[in-house]
C-alpha cells in the first residue's frame, strides 16, 4: 500500500486556466474588442489629421492669400474681411497642435487599455499615463478655448462667437476624474505590491 499526495492541492495550482489570456485579447467580450478597435481607429485618424494640418500649415506660409477673403455674417448684416496670413497660420498651428494633443491622449489610452486586457492594470506606468492624459486634456481644452477667444476678439472680430467660462466646466470635470483615477491606480499598485511582499 502506498500513500499518494496530490501536488495540486498542496501547491494551490488552480484546476482551471486563468480567465485572462497571457497573449492577445482572445477570449475577451465583444465590448472590449470594440472599444480597442475604436481607440486604435481614433488614434490613427488623429495622427493622419495632425500630419495633414501640419502640411497645410507649411503650405500656407508660401501660399499667396491676397485674393482670398471671408464673409462675416452676424445675422443683421454681412461684411467681407481679408483672409490674412496671420489668421491662417494661427488657426492651422492651433488645429495641428490640438490634434497632436488628442493623438497623445489616445496613445497613452491605448497603452493603458492593453494592460487592462492583459489583466494587470495596476502598474506604476499606468499612474504616469493617467497623469499625462489629464495634463494633455487640460492643455487641449485651454488651447481650444484660448484660440477661439483670440480669433473672436482679436484676429477676426465677429467671425465666431467668443467662448464663455461655462464651456470649461465639463472638460474640467473630465480632467479631475482622470487625475482621480491616477490616484486610485496608485493606491491599487501600492496594495498589490504589499500583497506580493506578504506572500
Cα–Cα distance, 152 to 67 (Å, whole number):
22
Instruction: Indicate the pLDDT class of residue 138, thresholds 50, 70 and 90.
Output: very high
Q: 111-115, 147-151, 157-161: which has the minimum mean pLDDT?
A: 157-161
Using CB atoms within 10 A of its CB, is residue 181 exposed (0-12), middle (13-18) or buried (19+)?
middle
Are the beta carbons of 69 and 81 closer than 8 angstroms? yes
Is pLDDT of 109 > 50? yes
* The pLDDT value given to residue 29: 67
More confident residue, 17 or 39: 39
Instruction: Indicate the pLDDT class of residue 162, thresholds 50, 70 and 90.
Output: confident
Is pLDDT of 27 > 90? no
Over residues 122-144, the mean pLDDT reads: 93
Amino acid at each position: 500500500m502506498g500513500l499518494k499526495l496530490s501536488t495540486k492541492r498542496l501547491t494551490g495550482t488552480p484546476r482551471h486556466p486563468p480567465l485572462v489570456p497571457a497573449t492577445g485579447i482572445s477570449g475577451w467580450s465583444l465590448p472590449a474588442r470594440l472599444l480597442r478597435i475604436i481607440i486604435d481607429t481614433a488614434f490613427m485618424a488623429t495622427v493622419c489629421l495632425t500630419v495633414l494640418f501640419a502640411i497645410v500649415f507649411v503650405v500656407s506660409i508660401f501660399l499667396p492669400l491676397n485674393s482670398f477673403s471671408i464673409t462675416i455674417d452676424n445675422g443683421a448684416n454681412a461684411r467681407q474681411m481679408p483672409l490674412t496670413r496671420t489668421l491662417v497660420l494661427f488657426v492651422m498651428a492651433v488645429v495641428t497642435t490640438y490634434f497632436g494633443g488628442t493623438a497623445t491622449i489616445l496613445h497613452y489610452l491605448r497603452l493603458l487599455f492593453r494592460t487592462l486586457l492583459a489583466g494587470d492594470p495596476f502598474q506604476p506606468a499606468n499612474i504616469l499615463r493617467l497623469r499625462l492624459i489629464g495634463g494633455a486634456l487640460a492643455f487641449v481644452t485651454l488651447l481650444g478655448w484660448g484660440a477661439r477667444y483670440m480669433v473672436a476678439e482679436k484676429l477676426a472680430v465677429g467671425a465666431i462667437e467668443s467662448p464663455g467660462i461655462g464651456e470649461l466646466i465639463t472638460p474640467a470635470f473630465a480632467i479631475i476624474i482622470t487625475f482621480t483615477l491616477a490616484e486610485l491606480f496608485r493606491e491599487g499598485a501600492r496594495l498589490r505590491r504589499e500583497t506580493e511582499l506578504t506572500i
